Chains A and B, each alone.
Chain A
Amino acid sequence: MNQASAAIGDPLSESPAVAREELEAVFADIQSHPLYDHELNGCLNCGICTATCPSAHYYDYSPREIVQLLWTENLEGIHDAMQEKIWACAQCYTCAARCPFGNSPGGLVMIMREAAIKHGMESAKEVLRPFSRVMLKVISTGNQLAPNMINAEHFPDWGPHISKVDAPLTVLRKAIPMPTLHTLETAWEVNLKTSLELYVIWEESGVLDQLETMDENLFDVITDIMEEKRDDYDDWLEDQEDEDGDDDD
């Protein structure tokens, strides 16, 4: 954690580590999220969410704590949890399946993550940094991986015991009747018009704004790609018109 995120108050100073206004702004963004009231109904402190949470067994993370912080509007605690804890959630939503109140702690974490990104928190940048290649592919092509890329060679973190499947997967995948899954060679080859539609979605949904906050360099690279594709599309349209013109004559 670098200095900007690990805000620890100076015990000799009267001024808080994080300005009250900032704490309130962060919480206001969380609370005004359209899903907030749907994910949080109340809390009996029963702990079934933490009991069932895989991450709670390995990290200093407790979904019950997240729910309690939000329910009691503990602004310092919320801000503090956003510096590290919320990134330990694996988004499996077992907590939501168990909560007797019908809360979704995992959903609340997702909302907090969005707020962390919006506010450019260093914790979010740190978590996302290793994923810049993934983001580049997802945002520019809409597709991160083809099935055949998901293999042990590309993912050393799976450990040595993962390569147990000894079968001609490439052949088997081609036997899958759905043609949409036949993307082994073409995963990153996207129809121009589809690409452009995708870019509109990224722009309209605020994804690009988030990207700019999180990683300016990557944002520049991706907007360059987008521009290029849009030029290509314009060129293609012009070609079509020319052809049409020829036909009409």
Chain B
Amino acid sequence: MSKPVLIVGGGPAGLSAAHALASVGQSVVMVEKEDRLGGAPILSGYAKLIPSGEWARDAIGSMVARVEQNALVEARLNCQVNEFSGAPGKFQAQLSDGSKIEAGATILTTGFTHFDSINKPEWGFGTYDDVVTTTQVEQMISTGGGVRCPSDGRKPERVAILLCVGSRDRQIGREWCSKVCCTVSANLAMEIREELPDCHVYIYYMDIRTYGLYEDLYYWKSQEEFRVKYIKARIAEVTSDGQRLIVKGEDTLVKRPITIPFDMVVHAIGMDPNVDNMKLGAIFDVDLESHGHIGRGSNYSALATTSRAGVFVAGAATGPETIDDSISQGQAAAMAALATLNQNIGAA
């Protein structure tokens, strides 16, 4: 029997890879640094997912359950890889729980880190209670508490969602587009309007990137059916008059500076490289790409490769990624890992 595949990270990509490998009889050791599987959708308490509309706890929860119930997958929680050596077919990993494991191949599904809005102080997060992140609004919805102003629990009458917080911003060294935030924000705007029909929701944008099939299903629908208002403006600063939040920007289509009061300001936070990527890159001896994500070895001829043979990567570890694409990439990485195992049968 071949050695197991080591999967680092138990989010959508890792769960997908583990399930794919187990479903063809391949054993897996899954190492997860948190105390539960599921990754960002579970750990950060996402609400309804795009494009299915299923609750994250149901959709990702079922992926967790089928992996946990599979005898071929051994999940090590609260655990990290400290040392990693060897070659395809005969890798050794030293884990933080003191154990050592052998693996025929490895898949890094180490995901991303949410942008910390503290790094854009002019937009008020950390200064005003009612400036929140998309993740917090997801949690307000997924916990059933509803969208409320954190300062006093009131229902907001006016909500501003600021796009590209921690994305497309050379000032803070984050030049990439985080890919999901436009669609997530359109979706959240509709959720807010559904729960609070009297609440005005504005989205401030540089460009709207609800790419592919999300254009009409999210961008247009949020305008046509939910009356979400889109304003082409990057906000200069969020302040307060002591009562409400004050948002200052330029309506670039009307071409005048604007100052507008809001009850709640939502930062559509981007996806940073995993804060541990420098460490992960060193431990697994894989190259990072220029933004700090785990670099792909090839874009066309071989999926899921890194700079090191037998070590594969999938999901948001490679850059901002959607949940469904992360799941696809997990399966691609599983296929690549299987091929490595086949090529190295009998490796010492």
A positions within 8 Å CB-CB of B: 41, 44-53, 56-57, 62, 64-65, 97-102
Chain A residues within 8 Å of B102, by CB: none
Bound: A100/B171 CA distance, A: 6
Chain A residues within 8 Å of B233, by CB: 46-48, 51
As a 0/1 sequence over residues 276 to 305 of chain B, the CB contacts with chain A under 8 angstroms (1 = contact) are 000000000000000000000000000000
> 24 A–B contact pairs at CB < 8 A?
A44-B207, A45-B232, A45-B252, A46-B233, A46-B252, A47-B232, A47-B234, A48-B235, A48-B249, A50-B257, A51-B234, A51-B249, A51-B250, A51-B258, A52-B236, A53-B257, A56-B257, A62-B255, A64-B250, A65-B255, A98-B171, A100-B164, A100-B170, A100-B206
Chain A residues within 8 Å of B255, by CB: 62, 65
Q: Are B171 and A57 in contact, CB atoms less than 8 angstroms apart?
A: no
Bound: A98/B121 CA distance, A: 12
Q: List the 3 shortest-distance A-B pairs measured between CB atoms, nearest first.
A: A47-B250, A46-B234, A51-B236
Q: Which residue of B lies closest to A53 (CB)?
A: B257
Chain B residues within 8 Å of A41, by CB: 170
Bound: A192/B250 CA distance, A: 52
Contact among B206, B235, B237, B249 with A44 in the assembled complex (CB-CB below 8 Å): B206
Q: Are B248 and A51 in contact, CB atoms less than 8 angstroms apart?
A: yes
Chain B residues within 8 Å of A65, by CB: 255
Enumerate B169-226 residues with CB–CB distance to A below 8 Å.
169-171, 206-207
Interface of chain B, main secondary structure: mixed
> Closest approach, in angstroms, between the C-beta of A196 and any C-beta of chain B?
44
Chain A residues within 8 Å of B169, by CB: 100
User: Quick check: is B168 within 8 A (CB to CB) of the other chain?
Assistant: yes
Chain A residues within 8 Å of B170, by CB: 41, 99-102
Q: Are B171 and A102 in contact, CB atoms less than 8 angstroms apart?
A: yes
Given contacts A100-B169, A100-B171, contact A47 B252 (CB under 8 A): yes
Q: Are A51 and B206 in contact, CB atoms less than 8 angstroms apart?
A: no
> Closest approach, in angstroms, between the C-beta of B230 and any C-beta of chain A?
13
Bound: A179/B257 CA distance, A: 46
Chain A residues within 8 Å of B252, by CB: 45-47, 50, 64
Bound: A170/B171 CA distance, A: 42
> Closest approach, in angstroms, between the C-beta of A36 and any C-beta of chain B?
18
Bound: A195/B252 CA distance, A: 49
User: Quick check: is B68 within 8 A (CB to CB) of the other chain?
Assistant: no
Bound: A102/B173 CA distance, A: 10
Chain A residues within 8 Å of B248, by CB: 51-52
Which of B168, B249, B252 has the largest number of chain A CB atoms within 10 A? Answer: B252
> Closest approach, in angstroms, between the C-beta of B316 and any C-beta of chain A?
22
Which of A41, A50, A102 has the largest number of chain B CB atoms within 10 A? Answer: A50
User: Quick check: is B74 within 8 A (CB to CB) of the other chain?
Assistant: no
Contact among B122, B206, B237, B258 with A46 in the assembled complex (CB-CB below 8 Å): B206
Chain A residues within 8 Å of B122, by CB: 98
As a 0/1 sequence over residues 153 to 169 of chain B, the CB contacts with chain A under 8 angstroms (1 = contact) are 00000000000100011
Chain A residues within 8 Å of B34, by CB: none
Bound: A98/B171 CA distance, A: 7
Bound: A47/B251 CA distance, A: 7
Contact among A57, A99, A100, A101 with B257 in the assembled complex (CB-CB below 8 Å): A57
Q: Are A51 and B171 in contact, CB atoms less than 8 angstroms apart?
A: no
Chain A residues within 8 Å of B207, by CB: 44
> Closest approach, in angstroms, between the C-beta of B182 and any C-beta of chain A?
14
Q: Are B250 and A48 in contact, CB atoms less than 8 angstroms apart?
A: yes
Q: Are B237 and A52 in contact, CB atoms less than 8 angstroms apart?
A: yes
Bound: A52/B218 CA distance, A: 31
Q: Are B168 and A51 in contact, CB atoms less than 8 angstroms apart?
A: no
Chain A residues within 8 Å of B168, by CB: 44, 100
Q: Which residue of B lies closest to A50 (CB)?
A: B250
Bound: A159/B168 CA distance, A: 43
Bound: A92/B237 CA distance, A: 16
> Closest approach, in angstroms, between the C-beta of A43 and any C-beta of chain B?
10
> Closest approach, in angstroms, between the C-beta of B294 and any C-beta of chain A?
25
Chain B residues within 8 Å of A101, by CB: 170
> Closest approach, in angstroms, between the C-beta of A234 and any C-beta of chain B?
53
Bound: A103/B232 CA distance, A: 19
Chain B residues within 8 Å of A49, by CB: 250
Q: Are B249 and A99 in contact, CB atoms less than 8 angstroms apart?
A: no
Which of A47, A53, A56 has the largest number of chain B CB atoms within 10 A? Answer: A47
Q: Which residue of A lies closest to B163 (CB)?
A: A46
| 13 more CB-based (< 8 A) A-B contacts, given A47-B249, A99-B170, A100-B206 | A44-B206, A45-B252, A46-B232, A47-B250, A47-B252, A48-B236, A50-B252, A50-B257, A51-B233, A51-B257, A52-B248, A100-B234, A102-B171
Bound: A45/B258 CA distance, A: 15
Bound: A99/B122 CA distance, A: 13
Chain B residues within 8 Å of A52, by CB: 236-237, 248
Q: Which residue of B lies closest to A58 (CB)?
A: B257
Q: Which residue of A lies closest to B249 (CB)?
A: A51
> Closest approach, in angstroms, between the C-beta of B232 and any C-beta of chain A?
7
Chain B residues within 8 Å of A98, by CB: 122, 171, 236
Chain B residues within 8 Å of A53, by CB: 257
Q: Which residue of B lies closest to A65 (CB)?
A: B255
Chain B residues within 8 Å of A99, by CB: 170-171
